[in-house]
Amino acid sequence: MNSPENQSSHPKFLSLWPTQFMSMRLPGSENANPILKEFILSLDDKKSDMTVDYTAYNFFDLDHPAVKWLQQCCNRAILDYATELGIDYSLEWTLQGWANINRLGDYHNLHNHPHSWLSGTYYVSIPDQKNAQTHRSDLNPGAISFFDPRPQANMNAIKGDGQVDPEFRKLPANGELMIWPAFLHHLVHPNASEEARISASFNVVLKWKPQYTPI
């Protein structure tokens, strides 16, 4: 009979407090994006402060086939996100969306999205930034950056432990959908192209149920 001392011991590893980030290219985006782009530009013609006055309307309430297509895609992706988290009960939510048009030099400061569960962005039209005249090697035109919510995590980090860089930077692609926890701070680097960068962002606001309460 084996004693506890003689039994082999295999280490167990846990990723504590993980921050889940989701990215995917939406099927059908190559057909939907030109229609969405035209529609968003028409909205901007009617309301020039559309991007900054994002609480004045809900993009997903607009009666347009391409908007409804995007809404359905986002809802499916949110279900996938929740499943990957391990949530095995039903959720109810609303999508609060707004369109963004970033022209030459436009950017978004560091921020997060309070009072929401998740946030996300769908990229409708992304200009090519490869030949952007930035005049500095440390600029990242057109990219979006996310930051570790644990500001002290890299204080004593060593090479290879995954905590060294508190910034995750990604250059979006046309048709790409990203979803992340709403608490996660992020910023959008300046657009260095003469062509506008067009996207649709959203918050996932849960309709509260008692079953959401951790017990």
Q: Are 206 and 167 in contact (CB under 8 A)?
A: no
Q: Are 139 and 126 in contact (CB under 8 A)?
A: no
- What are the tokens at 22? 């989701």
Q: What percent of the chain shows pLDDT beyond 90?
A: 68
> DSSP label at 210?
G
The neighbour count for residue 144, using CB atoms within 10 Å, is: 20
CATH 2.60.120.620 given to domain 22-129+140-150+163-206: yes
pLDDT tens, residue by residue, 167-203: 999 999 999 999 999 999 999 999 988 899 999 999 9
* SS3 call for 20: coil
- When mean pLDDT is compared across 28-32, 45-49, 162-166, the lowest value belongs to 45-49
pLDDT tens, residue by residue, 59-86: 999 999 999 999 999 999 999 999 999 9
Angle at 102 between CA 99 and CA 103, to 5 degrees: 140
The pTM score is 0.90
pLDDT tens, residue by residue, 101-138: 999 989 999 999 999 999 999 999 999 877 666 666 66
**Domain extents for the chain?**
22-129+140-150+163-206
